[in-house]
Amino acid sequence: MKTRKNYLVTYLFASFTVLVNLPSFALVGRLNQKSIEELYLKGMIHVDVLGLGGYQEECVSFKLKNNTNDSIYGFVEPGRRLISDDPGEQDILIVREMEFALAPRESKTVNGYGFCCESSSGAPGKDSGFTLGKLADENWLTLAKLIDQSNYPPDAIQHAIWVLSDGHDIRSIPALADANVQDLRQSVADILGIEVPWYSFLYEEDSTRLYTGIANRLFAEVGFAVPRRTMISGQIKDAKGKLVHNFPTYYVSAGKHKYEIDMPLDYLNNGQYTFSIIEDFGILNLSKTFELGEENLEEEYDYDVIDG
């Protein structure tokens, strides 16, 4: 007489045997996947790309129709730049891979995850049209694949893309107290072959523009060390050595610390400034420079803005 345990073992073995002998849909699909562009150019699918009424994250939809009598497995690559039908509206860079499967003659709609790569143009409206465009160049592909494999905040992703697409200041990528975003900013600096800045900017907002380029706040974390319990203070001087800002003083114990800066820039003119950490009201611990002014990274860092 079979026990309950024997029945369970027999059932599990039989189930495992069936699963092993069935073809894996996921595996078959992966082996037969083709890019959406290849499927479209071969006439195997029909594609309409439409805006969802935004310029970040899930902001476009792909309306797909299988034109064949076979199942189709496809994907949209991170790094594909969708070109807006309206020259006055933004193109969208896809930054997460999107897979799809279509049964014979099936139609379906799937959403794509992307971001604006033209900050000076208007946001796409709902049902704004796009072409499949093209894969972007190597720098964009590197950034898009990095985003696809990571979990960065949308705001940081958007500014990172604008640094490459529109020549925005790399200091616009906000990185205060977020190691994940600091990694993103370092990766963008590596792509451009420039030194990562020690501070970030926040910018004025304008309801009529996506990006003003006018810095109105500076923030950073500055590492420092002291040999003993010490009173420290932070200060900012202009290029002529005039004191323009004093931070509160406080005591720290011996060892390594981080000095946090978060300050408005409204009252500072364009030019170069020096931030210093002072021990016991007179001993210089460290100093770092920063600059305020019009953005001109193309000249300063000598890299080419990517032309769409």
Say whether pLDDT at 7 is over 60: no
Q: Are residues 57 and 176 in the same domain?
A: yes
The answer, yes or no, to whether residue 306 has pLDDT greater than 60, is no
Torsion of Cα atoms, 271 then 178 then 138 then 77, to 10°: -140
Give the pLDDT mean for 125-152: 93
Please tell me whether residues 50 and 195 are part of one structural domain: yes
pLDDT digits (tens, 9 = 90+) for 260-271: 999 999 889 999
Residues 294-297: contacts with CB within 8 Å, 24+ apart? 294/213, 294/270, 295/167, 295/168, 295/169, 295/213, 297/163, 297/167, 297/168, 297/169, 297/170
Regarding whether 199 and 78 lie in a shared domain, the answer is yes
Q: Are residues 171 and 87 in the same domain?
A: yes
In the three-class reduction of DSSP (H, G, I as helix; E, B as strand; rest coil), residue 53 is classed as coil
Question: What is the distance between the alpha carbons of residues 244 and 222, in angstroms, rounded to a whole number?
Answer: 19
Question: 56 and 162: one domain?
Answer: yes
Average pLDDT over residues 155-167: 92
C-alpha Rg value of the chain to the nearest Å: 27
Q: Are both 51 and 125 inside the same structural domain? A: yes
pLDDT of res. 294: 67
Segment 217-271, tens digit of pLDDT: 998 999 999 999 999 999 999 999 999 999 999 999 999 999 999 999 988 999 9
Domain-located, residue 110 = yes
Residues 196 and 125 in one domain: yes
Q: Which of 155, 179, 203 is the last residue of a domain?
A: 203
* Residue 224, in any domain of the structure: yes
- The answer to whether residues 46 and 160 belong to one domain is yes
On whether both 106 and 148 belong to a single domain, the answer is: yes
Percent of the chain residues past pLDDT 90, beyond the cut: 65
| pLDDT for 298 beyond 80 | no
DSSP letter at 121? S
Range of the domain at 109: 31-203
| Boundary residue ending a domain (169, 203, 237) | 203
Q: Which residues contact 301 (CB under 8 A, 6 or more apart)?
A: 192, 193, 194
Q: What is the pLDDT of residues 31-62, one digit of tens each?
A: 679 999 999 999 999 999 999 988 999 999 99
> Residue 242's domain is classified under what CATH number?
2.60.40.2550
Tell me: pLDDT of 210 over 90: no
Least confident of 26-40, 79-93, 184-198: 26-40
Q: Does 246 lie in the same domain as 121?
A: no
Q: How many domains does the chain have?
A: 2
Cα angle vertex 226, ends 225, 227, to 5°?
130
281 and 138 together in one domain: no
* Residue 3 within any structural domain of the chain: no
Q: Is residue 210 part of a domain?
A: no
Calculate what percentage of the chain has a pLDDT beyond 70.
84
Whole-number average pLDDT of the chain: 85
Q: Are residues 247 and 103 in the same domain?
A: no
